[in-house]
Amino acid sequence: VWFDAPIGYIASSQQWCDRNGEKLEDWWQSSECEVRHFIGKDITYFHTLFWPAMLKTAGLSLPSRVHVHGFLTVNGEKMSKSKGTFVMASTYLEHLDPAYLRYFYASKLGPRPDDLDLNLEEFVSKVNSDLVGKVVNLASRSARFVEKVGLAQQYPEDGGLFAAAAAAGDEIAQAYEACETAKAI
């Protein structure tokens, strides 16, 4: 399994290329395309030793970076069907927006392979405080304000607020580049 399973990465890429009118070579054999691998900590040995050897032998691009993630746990326990410490994706999607879970995990991801715990109380609290309490509330208030007042033809001097926001954008981009999504968020 270790040797043939990663070939599925290339097959998946080929399938995407076929659907989108792209060429596999433009992605896997181009110096213009950066290859990054995101893997779980239990498969680091294979993906940093054997997989690069397979790629090199096949004439495909090697990854410029391998980012290693920890395991996903639920309420501090390893996922297990027999213990009931798991969440079925289909069940989750029947009840909640996947963007909430993506945000929750992204807010916890850092540059090290630490495990990510889906503590359900923490999840609800974070979604309610960060997404509903801040983002949705800000959007709602802004929409009402613009509807009531309208857009200005000119904006007053902002005391450097725009420049600070632009600089923060650069810092956020650097954090994403370094795979520090918790810092970026």
CA angle 75, 76, 78 (to 5 degrees): 105
Is 78's pLDDT higher than 90? no
Owning domain of residue 55:
1-69
Residue 161 in any domain: the answer is no
Q: What is the pLDDT of residues 101-134, one digit of tens each?
A: 999 999 998 889 999 999 989 999 999 888 878 8
Average pLDDT over residues 18-30: 95
Whether residue 29 lies inside any domain: the answer is yes
pLDDT, tens digit, for every residue of 128-167? Answer: 888 878 877 787 888 888 788 777 666 667 788 777 877 8
Residue 2 CA to its chain's centroid (Å): 25
DSSP string, 37-63: EEEEGGGHHHHHHHHHHHHHHTTPPPP
Burial of 134 (0-12, 13-18, 19+ CB in 10 A): exposed
The per-residue pLDDT for 2 is 66
Q: What would the pLDDT profile of 60-70 be if each residue is shown by its tens digit?
A: 999 999 999 99
Please say whether the beta carbons of 9 and 16 come within 8 A: no
pTM for this model (two decimals): 0.70
In a domain, 169, yes or no: no
- Total of domains in the chain: 1
Q: Is residue 152 part of a domain?
A: no
d(CA 107, CA 94): 23
The whole-chain average pLDDT of the chain stands at 87
**From the CB of residue 109, how many other CB atoms can be counted at a distance below 10 Å?**
19
